[in-house]
Structure 1
């Protein structure tokens, strides 16, 4: 269970030659970190007189962020679990035509399952980006840079998840599944980049940084 590791342990495991944790787990962690900053900014906004008019909305944002945090953290370990199924499928024998067919069927299913986790990382990170996009407008100005850091981490999580989907799609022979999944993740990444970039530009303007 990597989510129970401390930071040093996880980074050392990530840097080893072991296949897990890998890019998928790192993407999920990036999403969790970006989402945690949603909660941080929300908590710094609630209870301040200056932001009392938006407090009910920020409280709702905090509730959504808490739900997303649990999901993103769980995907760190889920990514490792689905990879083990892919590795097992690759090790299946292929000496006869029957064995080749069984191996391809098992591999297709394992790779489809392996696509599910990074797609979910993308989806949950996009939902968190939507929260950061709103906080860029209504969150405490004392923590506005943290909104930007969160948005950038979440954008990285989405694009990293996309890479992890594609590397699995390239070995799947089910063309309908491949095309449907590609369409889905391209839409997610397009929306995520747009919203994260909007949040970043709002923050630059608030900080009066030259674009």
Structure 2
């Protein structure tokens, strides 16, 4: 939302840039009043990344790009740690994750190794014919590290709500408790699905990626397989307390199916 501050003259007519360019001058910059969501700056950064054909993956670097291109430091200092909502709000007592920390490390390493191979392929003359493909498949792996690890906190929150529902109702089979339990099951189930979505990317990297990094790809797929196995175990354990037999059977079948696919993909790659 644009806010007019007449004394500062912070809003300029949209034609100002064209007029300035015709005079070989530049518009000073922009100003954001108050706090801004991280997504707004990332959207702006992605616009410039696409327009300028850049390869930037880190959110920190994307924010720096947005600040630079929008001229947010031109009028006043723009401190992203103080002005971006998500970065300003810090958790004073983060929950202890229920998903095993060693499992999350496997997940992190798998995605990180996959993106590393992509980065060691992208921009290299001998594989430049694959640059456009790498631009598409690197971000899901690179960004997947943080995205996938968010399931750890989600798992903790969901299970805590299930425990609280049992405490309040005094009945693990109550509708409230069962709904909370299903939410707790859906977190590792969704983690399995997200990890499974990486197979096509890893397959592509194994075929066209830097051949000197093939062992890294092999470790990456093993890490993803292990992540799926761990999530599957979490689903099956929690399903034991689910009273809906049909739903329980369906979830267990899907969890087992995704793990079976993971074993096949791991061997194949």
Partner residue of 1:51? Answer: 127
1:90 aligned to 166, 173, 176, which one?
166
**Residue ranges of structure 1 left out of the alignment (5+ in a row):** 1-18, 95-99, 200-211
Tell me the C-alpha RMSD between the 2 structures: 2.1
TM-score in terms of structure 1 length: 0.74
- 1:120 maps to 190
Structure 2: 5+ residue stretches without partners:
1-94
**TM-score, with structure 2 as normaliser:** 0.59
Whether the 8 Å CA contact 2:169–2:177 is kept in 1: the answer is: no
CA 1:88–1:196: 2 relative to 1, 3 Å: same
Q: Computing the radius of gyration over CA atoms, which structure comes out larger, 1 or 2?
A: 2
CA distance in 1, matches of 2:258, 2:169: 37
Match of 2:224 among 144, 154, 158: 154
Of residues 113, 122, 140 in structure 2, which corresponds to 1:64?
A: 140
Deviation track 1:42-89 (CA, whole Å, cap 9, x = no partner) reads: 101001122122222121111332453343021121111111112223
Flag the structure with higher helix content: 1
SS in 2 for 1:37: helix
2:220 and 2:254 map into 1 onto residues whose CA distance is 23
Instruction: Answer yes or no: is the 8 Å Cα contact 1:121–1:161 preserved in 2.
Output: yes
Matched, 1:80 2:156: yes
Q: How many angstroms does 1:111 deviate by?
A: 1.3
Match of 2:201 in 1: 131
**Aligned pair count?**
175
Report how far residue 24 of structure 1 moved.
5.4
Q: CA deviation at 1:157?
A: 0.4
Structure scoring higher RCO (CA < 8 A, sep ≥ 6) equals 1
Asked if 2 retains the 8 angstrom alpha-carbon contact of 1:130 and 1:195, the reply is no
- d(CA) in 2 for partners of 1:27, 1:65: 17
